[in-house]
Amino acid sequence: MIDSIQVEPAKKVTTYDHGGDENGFLIELFKGGDKTEVYLTAARLGAFKGYHLHRVRSARYVCVKGKMRITLYSQSRDDGVMKWVREEHILDAGEPKRLFIPKDVATGLENIGDEEAWLINYPDPPYDPGLKDEQVEYTQVELEQGIVK
């Protein structure tokens, strides 16, 4: 047996939408200590994951299977009033691209392909389970109404 070879478990977590229905899973691909540096998120056919906003972390997405619509809401000031501005990006495994999403941008992921979709994320800084209240959940209605949490 080769001494430097290591096998370790990779944590897999089932994910659910705001209504409590299963919409896919996450797998931690690489950990540095107790922090997750790279993970895969999978979305079932037609599933939507989100909206969530990270107060500390940015995200770097690459779609490696299927096709995903990434819907983003960022805050903008219009005549002194804060509002959310929406934009969309399509990530397709057949035409690989990297999408950088800065912190404080609400993000939703929708599988718009014809198979389960897989997205790799390299969060910066890595996910730290010790950070509380770093991730904020939103509904589309809250974003459209301009609610800021």
> Residues 15-43: pLDDT tens digits?
999 889 999 999 999 998 899 999 999 99
pLDDT at 79 over 90: no
Average pLDDT over residues 75-82: 80
> Can you give the residue ranges of every domain in the chain?
12-144
* Helix then strand then coil, % of the chain, to nearest 5: 5, 55, 40
Q: What is the CA radius of gyration of the chain?
A: 16
DSSP letters for 73-106: EEEEEETTEEEEEEEEEEEETTB--EEEE-TT-E
> Residues 101-135: pLDDT tens digits?
999 999 999 999 999 999 999 999 999 988 887 88
Q: What pLDDT sits at residue 130?
A: 86
Average pLDDT over residues 43-65: 96
Task: Find where tokens 């404080």 sit.
Answer: 104
pTM of the model: 0.91
| Average pLDDT value for the chain | 94
Query: Reduced to 3 states, what is the DSSP secondary structure of residue 140?
Result: helix
Q: Residue 82 — very low, low, confident or very high, per pLDDT cuts 50/70/90? A: confident
The highest-level CATH class for domain 12-144 is: mainly beta
Question: Strand 48-54 relative to strand 106-111: parallel, antiparallel, unpaired?
Answer: antiparallel
Q: What pLDDT sits at residue 125?
A: 94
